Structures are given as structure tokens and as C-alpha cells.
Amino acid sequence: MNKRFLVFLSSRKSWALPYIIFSAIFVVIPLFLIVVYAFTDDNGHLTLANFQKFFEHPEAINTFVYSIGIAIITTIVCILLGYPAAWILSNSKLNRSKTMVVLFILPMWVNILVRTLATVALFDFFSVPLGEGALIFGMVYNFIPFMIYPIYNTLQKMDHSYIEAAQDLGANPLQVFLKAVLPLSMPGVMSGIMMVFMPTISTFAIAELLTMNNIKLFGTTIQENINNSMWNYGAALSLIMLLLIAATSLFSTDDKDNANEGGGLW
């Protein structure tokens, strides 16, 4: 038995053991508990009342839909701002300094709550009222690095022979971008969308700080229920949010596969 254990430890399979233990403790078990609490009542009996309660309360549904809308707006703004930034960073003709890349990624090194508090202080300094506009600004400010980096990484690794071929065939700069650069960079765009959309839809601290708790997001609703010891209903809301994120993740994976299997750019 000891010899088999030593052989296992000396094999490459043993390298995955710490990750398996970590995933079991911090991923599998919490997800299992969410499912158990979501489908049980306070007495531990199986029930669908928690989900029924969600669908019977228009306020909870409106908060859920509103959170999706805020997440979509934040993601779109991050794409519109992040793609040009990633393009400039990856283009050696426009950017000759690696320092610029570090400056764009630097905010990721600061805790998100510290960045949000700094944003609140900035709005207070300029006497800008806190509200929906401040919320979207704070969301974009906090999550735009997660959009820039995957797009930049994809553009950096892109095969530029496609661009040269398009130019040799007489394509103008706009056609080169639409027919060659954009399709090849879509995996990075999809990764950026996932990295922005998923945390945006589940956040609550940013909304509380940048709206003085006047605007509720779905994450805030979950937090309030759990803080009020309504574990079962809070778990049901969490499971609904997780299912939405999982569906978005599967949609993103399908889009990546279709892009990789497309074969042609024209």
C-alpha cells in the first residue's frame, strides 16, 4: 500500500491532486450546498417553493432583468472602449512601449473595493451625483481591463499573413479589419465578454457604493436574503444566476468553436 502511494506521488497524476482537493472544497461542495438549499425548505424537505417565490415576486424579477441590462450595457461599453485600446497596444506602429500595456493592466492589481471607493471619492470631489450613470461608469472602470487583455493577447498572437494577403488582394483598411482582423480576434472578444459579463451580473458592492444603496442589483438581493438568514431562498436566487452564467458560458464556447471551424475569412 505504501509502495503504491509512493509510486502515485512520483507520477505526473499526483500533480493534479492539490487542484482536485482545492476544487472539491471551494467549488464542488459550495455548489452542492447551493443546490441542496435551493430545493429544500427550512425543515429540510424537498420543495420548489423557493423558485415559486421568485417568479411570484415582480420586484425580484425586475431586479434580475435590470441586472442583466446593466451587465449588457457594461459589456458593450467595455467592448467599444477596450477593442481600440487593445488594437493600439498590439500594433507596433502605434505603440512601441511595453509600459503602456502595464499601465492598462495595472488597475487589475488593485482591489476592486479600493478602486470603487476611489471612484466614489472622485465623484464627490467633482460634485457628481451618484446613481445609474455612476454605476455604469464604475462597472466599466473596474472591468474594462478584463476586456482589454484577452483581446490584446489574441491580436498579439494573430497570424499577420492574413492581413498581408488581404492587402495584396486590394482590400482597403476597413475591409482588412472587417474581413480579417475582426474574425480572427473574436476568441479574445468572447473571452472578454465572459470575463466582464459574469462578474458584472453578480456584483453587489459596486452598486451599493456608487448608488448609495438606492439601486439594487441581483447580487444585492442575494446578499440581503442570506444576511437575513433566508438561506433557502437566497440559494435559489444564486442557482438561477449560476444557470444564467452557465448558459452564457456555453453560448460563448459554441461561438468559439464555430469561429475556429469556419475555415475561411471571406
pLDDT in the model for residue 37: 92
pLDDT of residue 113: 85
The domains of the chain are located at 62-215
CA distance 235 to 262: 40
- 44-65 burial, b if ≥16 CB within 10 A, otherwise e? eeebeebbeebeeeeebeebbe
Q: What is the CA radius of gyration of the chain?
A: 23
Query: What percentage of the chain carries pLDDT values higher than 70?
Result: 86
pTM of the predicted structure, to 2 decimals: 0.81
Write down the pLDDT at residue 261: 45
Q: Which of 122-126, 183-187, 238-242, 259-263 has the lowest mean pLDDT?
A: 259-263
Residue 266 pLDDT > 80, yes or no? no
Q: Determine which of 105-114, 204-213, 238-247 has the lowest per-residue pLDDT on average.
A: 105-114
Directed axis angle between helix 231-261 and helix 182-202, to 10°?
A: 180
The number of helix segments (H) and strand segments (E) in the chain equals 14, 0
Position 205 scores a pLDDT of 84
Report the CATH number of the 62-215 domain. Answer: 1.10.3720.10
53 vs 247, which has greater pLDDT? 53
Residue pLDDT, tens place only, 27-65: 899 999 999 999 998 888 899 999 999 998 888 899 999
Q: Are 239 and 255 in contact (CB under 8 A)?
A: no
By the 8 A CB rule, do 156 and 95 touch? no
| Distance of alpha carbon 162 from alpha carbon 13, whole angstroms | 40
Query: How remote is the C-alpha of 257 from its chain's centroid?
Result: 19
Q: Is the pLDDT of residue 251 over 70?
A: no
Give dist(CA 181, CA 170) in Å, integer. Answer: 15
DSSP-assigned letters across all residues of 60-114 = HHHHHHHHHHHHHHHHHHHHHHHHHHHHHHH-TTT---THHHHHHHGGGGS-HHH
**18, pLDDT greater than 50:** yes
> What region does 47 belong to: left with phi over 0, alpha with psi -120 to 50, or beta?
beta
Q: Are 70 and 135 in contact (CB under 8 A)?
A: yes
Q: Does residue 254 surpass a pLDDT of 60?
A: no
